[in-house]
Amino acid sequence: MEKQKQLQETIQFLKDKGITNSQVGIVLGTGLGKLVAEINIITEIPYAQIPHFPEATVEFHSGRLIYGELSGKTVLVMSGRFHLYEGYTAWEVTYGIRTMHGLGIQNLFISNAAGAINLSYKKGDLMLIEDHINLQGQSPLAFKEAKSFGNIFADMLAPYSKELNTKIARIAKQQHIKLHEGVYASVLGPQLETRAEYRMLQILETDAVGMSTVPEVIVAKQLNLPCAAISVLTDECDPKHLQPINIEEIIAIAGKAEPKMIALFKEVIESL
């Protein structure tokens, strides 16, 4: 019961800090932190101060949990996420999801930066994740105590809430925001893919590739927590015309497309 105990201590610590009524959870991806500026912040706590919370290492993330108001709802925002490629375990990568669930969130929204495998998609476009393929070789439900947190044989019929996705698609249409819907492949990284790997991802009929999100979504499913995720497409992964890419460029493109993602999140949260 070691992990249950840790998690309960984390949740109790945050409740004692006044985080007592969270309705919505949000995880912000690489280069996608500006949503925080729209929040009426009630409390913010650096991850390093939260008992048992993993500590953020990637320099692009500030690593803090923010509690506040957005679109008339109380939200908990993870500004800075944990990736398997940083050496965290799948338990650590998804610890924040279990924490936010323990604090009462009823819906979860996730963003990420991803490469476009579908070549009709362009850099700076958004993709609503409709389904995924887990190519990370790991599951956040494969550990000894996992059963005590819910069904480990979580069904993956609809890991992304149909209801939330329908709402988001409708909002995108109303706001004239181009929004693809597609399949996200998660890879371990941190290296980017070879041309042969991009060809494989095309053959697998995936539309985007990235290094996050899937562990969080699997845990949300174990917890019966409705979730939706949006990829900001930061590069075009054409194996025939592959360009050198650098992470700074990915982050810059994510930042440019970010306002569209923020608009969608704000309005879907308002509609809840």
What HEC string does the chain produce? CHHHHHHHHHHHHHHHCCCCCCCEEEEECCCCCHHHHHCEEEEEEEHHHCCCCCCCCCCCCCCEEEEEEECCEEEEEEECCCCHHHCCCHHHHCHHHHHHHHCCCCEEEEEEEEEECCCCCCCCCEEEEEEEEECCCCCCCCCCCHHHHCCCCCCCCCCCCHHHHHHHHHHHHHCCCCEEEEEEEECCCCCCCCHHHHHHHHHCCCCEEECCCHHHHHHHHHCCCCEEEEEEEEEECCHHHCCCCCHHHHHHHHHHHHHHHHHHHHHHHHCC
The site map against ligand HPA for 5-34 (x = CB under 6 A) is ------------------------------
Per CB under 6 A, 234 contacts ligand HPA: yes
Q: Who's near 152: CB < 8 A, 6+ residues apart?
A: 141, 142, 146, 222
Among the listed ranges 5-13, 42-50, 113-121, 156-164, the one in contact with ligand HPA (CB under 6 A) is 113-121
State the minimum distance, in angstroms, from the CB of residue 197 to ligand HPA: 9
Per CB under 6 A, 226 contacts ligand HPA: no
Per CB under 6 A, 126 contacts ligand HPA: no
Per CB under 6 A, 78 contacts ligand HPA: no
The residues in 163-192 that bind ligand HPA, with binding defined as CB under 6 A, are: 187, 192
Per CB under 6 A, 237 contacts ligand HPA: yes
State the minimum distance, in angstroms, from the CB of residue 165 to ligand HPA: 21
State the minimum distance, in angstroms, from the CB of residue 192 to ligand HPA: 5
Size of the site for ligand HPA (CB under 6 A): 13
Rounded CA separation 170/228 (Å): 14
Specify the residue, 213 or 222, whose C-beta has the smaller distance to ligand HPA: 213
Specify the residue, 24 or 257, whose C-beta has the smaller distance to ligand HPA: 257
State the minimum distance, in angstroms, from the CB of residue 30 to ligand HPA: 7
Per CB under 6 A, 125 contacts ligand HPA: no
Q: Which of 193, 207, 216, 258 binds ligand HPA (CB under 6 A)?
A: 193
Per CB under 6 A, 211 contacts ligand HPA: yes
State the minimum distance, in angstroms, from the CB of residue 253 to ligand HPA: 9
Rounded CA separation 100/104 (Å): 7
Residue 256 structure tokens: 């440019």
The residues in 80-99 that bind ligand HPA, with binding defined as CB under 6 A, are: none
Binding residues for ligand HPA, rule: CB under 6 A, are: 113-115, 187, 192-193, 209-211, 234-235, 237, 250
